[in-house]
Structure 1
Amino acid sequence: MITLDDMEDMCSLTREEIAAVAEHDHITEAAAVAEVERLMHEHGGPQKVQLKICEDIRAALHADDVAHAKALFAVLRGYMTAHPEAVRGSG
């Protein structure tokens, strides 16, 4: 049987990036793996993942949860480094 660890290992995103998408979409991490794999192969999909993380950073700041905003910002930096195609205006 395939486990969540197996799914995450086969995904093009890190576990932290998967968790950020799961948080944003209010879905399980297993469902987030499927979502991000779909998005990463869709035109404009990498930008959509970037937007999800940015929206959650904004929400954390509005909720005065600076620690969570910082953690998400670190995830965003790693994502943008690994996936430069996610820069808005590219593609």
Structure 2
Amino acid sequence: MLTYEDCIALCGLNRREVEAIAEHEHIPPIVATELGNYLCRNTSGALCVQRYILDDIAAAEKRGDQHHVTVLQAVLRHFIATHPSRDAAAAPDTYLRQQ
């Protein structure tokens, strides 16, 4: 039987990245590991994960939860650093300017 930690290790994301997907999609974190694994297999999926995290940042800003904003910004930086792609490198700046 696989544990949650096993699923995190297998999905190619860290715990906070999985939690950001779960938060955005309103799904259990264990389900978010599979979704994240699937999305990170291509450029458009990686951009989707970035968008999820940016949406979570915007929601936290709207709630006035600055601590969560700071945590999610670190999550986004880590995700971009560990999931580079030819299209994803410029995407976050573009998305941040839209907000």
Flag whether TM exceeds 0.5 (same fold): yes
**Which residue of structure 2 lines up, in the alignment, with residue 21 of structure 1?**
21
Q: Partners in 2 of 1:52 and 1:82 — Cα distance?
A: 16
Q: Distance in 2 between matches of 1:51 and 1:5?
A: 25
The aligned length equals 88
Which has the larger displacement, 78-87 or 23-32? 78-87
Off by >2 Å, runs of 4+ in structure 1: none
Q: How far apart are the structure 2 equivalents of 1:66 and 1:43?
A: 30
TM-score if structure 2 supplies the norm length? 0.83
2:34 alignment partner, SS class: helix
CA RMSD of aligned residues (A): 1.1
Q: 1:43 to 1:74 in 2, by over 3 A?
A: closer
User: Offset at 1:40?
Assistant: 1.1
Which amino acid is 1:8 matched to?
I
**Distance across 1 between alignment mates of 2:11 and 2:48:** 17
Partner of 2:81: 81
Counterpart residue number, 1:62 = 62
Structure 1 residue 15, shift from structure 2 partner = 0.9
TM-score of the superposition, structure 1-length normalised?
0.90
The amino acid across from 1:11 in the alignment is C
